């Protein structure tokens, strides 16, 4: 069956108690996707645990359990149809493991809602989330100032938080004039789907209306086919099913593919037997689609999260070393040569070593500030040379920006984020 509407991947990010899951849960309930009976059950459960008001967040938790049982292929996603798009909502829940999920979510998103709690305003993690969204190439960001019910629906509180967030947005190069700020209350349903009567001063869109105000994603179907693997499942009657989002190109049934780097770093070749999206079999899928696939000749032992399924005739490079432009976001001391943190590249996580700090640069102009600095501190941007300590697939920004971005993590925090500009390919 042909897709009637273009796919739009939207990620909800924000501080741990900002109310992301509640907004998404409320959105699904008000869209009629959660029966009243189910809602009553969740409400009773929330009360039982002394978590009154958590029933909407529990909708997302329900989905999480359903995902973990592996019953559907579109696992960490929920689909909502709007007037213009088939929207796939990516909720990034979880406290400790939140940023890891968020990096994966952000790298798959066409647009994002940055959720800020009105009572607490900007928090420490907010800057980190913004940097990550920018580095992962999410250009369309809307700010949802949530929990307006907790501040008496006051316009001055909304304006104050808006001002705080605007400063951060400008700091990462986002035009605040073109950014939508939504005043909402997920728990009460104000401006989620229905316009709020509690905030007559607010004239902007609801969360649901904003979905259709995002520009249609530009699909990079002209680039070679790349699908980073997010998970691999064994499904009865089908076999090994890698799942992920096609970043670029067009995937076709019968296509000759290669899985890189694979276990050995040399890749595994195969042929696409089936492509499935939202429980429908497809003959082809394009960039932007979240799919589950089955590859003839590729078994469970040959493929894992972090591998990339690509066209056999145009494989992605496995890199020996690479040069990148990075921004240091949150390092506890300073970043120096020899430092070996974990790099999150598309869905892969590989330790990589900084072997040379080439130059500190001005992030806005790209001008060199200092050649070969001894170290880099928070807020610095630089050109650096990096050597992976394992098998890593990566592309250069000018060839394929979608496969060139990465985030650098250490001890549970995002230290830096960046983009690959030059590659030395590994010789097999």
The predicted-structure confidence for 110-136, as pLDDT tens digits, reads as follows 899 999 999 999 887 787 778 767 766
Q: List Cβ neighbours of 73 (8 Å cut-off, separation of 6 or more).
A: 233, 235, 241, 243, 276, 277, 279, 291, 292
Residues spanned by CATH 3.40.50.300 within the chain?
A: 7-213
Percent of the chain residues past pLDDT 90, beyond the cut: 47
pLDDT at 41: 85
Look up residue 51 and give its two tokens: 């978590």
| Rounded Cα–Cα distance for residues 53 and 163 (Å) | 29
| Rounded Cα–Cα distance for residues 135 and 53 (Å) | 34
CATH class of the domain whose range is 7-213: alpha beta
Q: Are 271 and 291 a contacting pair, CB within 8 Å?
A: no
Q: Specify the CATH number for 226-311; select among 1.10.540.10, 3.30.360.10, 2.40.30.10, 3.40.50.2300.
A: 2.40.30.10
Pairing of strands 7-14, 111-117: parallel
Superfamily of structural domain 319-425: Translation factors (2.40.30.10)
> Can you point out the beta strands (E) in 98-237?
111-117, 140-146, 181-183, 226-228, 231-235
Residues spanned by CATH 2.40.30.10 within the chain?
A: 226-311, 319-425
CA dihedral defined by 333, 334, 337, 339, rounded to 10 degrees? 40
For the whole model, what pTM was predicted? 0.65
Residue 425 has pLDDT above 80, yes or no: yes
DSSP 141: E
| Rounded Cα–Cα distance for residues 146 and 124 (Å) | 17
Residues linked to residue 325 through DSSP beta bridges, in sequence order: 383, 419
Note the pLDDT tens digit of each residue in 381-406. 899 999 999 999 999 988 998 899 88
Q: List Cβ neighbours of 187 (8 Å cut-off, separation of 6 or more).
A: 19, 22, 26, 53, 56, 147, 149
DSSP 190: B
Q: Are 29 and 59 a contacting pair, CB within 8 Å?
A: yes
* Reported confidence tier of residue 96, pLDDT bands at 50, 70, 90: very low
Look up residue 402 and give its two tokens: 């979608």
Look up residue 144 and give its two tokens: 């949802």
pLDDT at 160: 96
| Rounded Cα–Cα distance for residues 289 and 279 (Å) | 13
Residue 51 has pLDDT above 60, yes or no: yes
| Rounded Cα–Cα distance for residues 130 and 166 (Å) | 11
DSSP 185: B
Mean pLDDT value of segment 215-219: 84
pLDDT: which is higher, 66 or 138:
138
| Rounded Cα–Cα distance for residues 21 and 30 (Å) | 14
Mean pLDDT for the chain overall: 85
CB atoms within 10 A of CB 142: 21
Nearest residue to 72 via CA among 247, 276, 252? 276
| Rounded Cα–Cα distance for residues 341 and 329 (Å) | 14
Pairing of strands 342-345, 348-361: antiparallel
Note the pLDDT tens digit of each residue in 323-356. 998 888 778 889 999 999 999 898 899 999 999 9
67-81, 336-350, 366-380: which has the highest mean pLDDT? Answer: 336-350
* Reported confidence tier of residue 47, pLDDT bands at 50, 70, 90: confident
């Amino acid at each position: 069956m042909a897709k009637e509407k273009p796919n739009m991947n939207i990620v909800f990010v924000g501080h741990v108690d900002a109310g992301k899951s509640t907004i998404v849960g409320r959105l699904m309930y008000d869209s009629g996707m959660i029966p009243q009976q189910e809602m009553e059950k969740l409400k009773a459960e929330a009360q039982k645990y002394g978590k009154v008001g958590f029933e909407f967040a529990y909708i997302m938790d329900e989905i999480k359990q359903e995902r973990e049982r592996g019953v559907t292929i579109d696992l960490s996603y929920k689909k909502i149809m709007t007037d213009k798009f088939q929207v796939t909502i990516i909720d990034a829940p979880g406290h400790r493991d939140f940023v890891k999920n968020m990096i994966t979510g952000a790298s798959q998103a066409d647009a994002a809602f940055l959720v800020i709690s009105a009572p607490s305003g900007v928090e420490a993690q907010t800057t980190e989330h913004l940097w990550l969204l920018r580095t992962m190439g999410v250009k369309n960001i809307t700010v949802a100032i949530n929990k307006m019910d907790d501040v008496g629906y006051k316009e001055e509180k909304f304006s104050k938080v808006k001002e705080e967030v605007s400063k951060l947005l400008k700091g990462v190069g986002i035009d605040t004039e073109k950014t939508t700020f939504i005043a909402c209350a997920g728990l009460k349903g104000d401006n989620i789907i229905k316009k709020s009567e509690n905030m007559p001063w607010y004239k902007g869109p609801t969360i649901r209306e904003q979905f259709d105000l995002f520009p249609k994603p530009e699909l990079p179907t002209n680039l070679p086919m790349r699908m980073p693997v997010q998970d691999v499942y064994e499904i009865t009657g089908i076999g090994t099913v890698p799942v992920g989002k096609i970043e670029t190109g067009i995937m076709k049934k019968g296509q000759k593919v290669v899985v890189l780097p694979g276990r050995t770093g040399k890749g595994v070749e195969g042929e696409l037997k089936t492509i499935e999206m939202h429980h429908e079999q497809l003959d082809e899928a394009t960039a932007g689609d979240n799919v589950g696939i089955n590859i003839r000749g590729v078994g469970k032992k040959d493929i894992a999260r972090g591998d990339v399924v690509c066209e056999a005739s145009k494989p992605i490079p496995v890199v020996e070393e690479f040069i990148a432009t990075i921004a240091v976001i949150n390092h506890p001391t300073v970043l120096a040569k020899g430092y070996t943190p974990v790099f999150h590249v598309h869905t892969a996580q590989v330790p990589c070593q900084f072997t040379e700090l080439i130059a500190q640069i001005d992030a806005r102009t790209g001008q060199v500030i200092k050649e070969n600095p001894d170290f880099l501190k928070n807020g610095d941007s630089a050109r650096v040379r990096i050597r992976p300590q394992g098998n890593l697939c990566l592309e250069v920004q000018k060839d394929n920006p979608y496969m060139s971005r990465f985030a650098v993590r250490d001890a549970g925090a995002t230290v830096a984020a960046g983009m690959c500009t030059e590659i030395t390919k590994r010789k097999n």
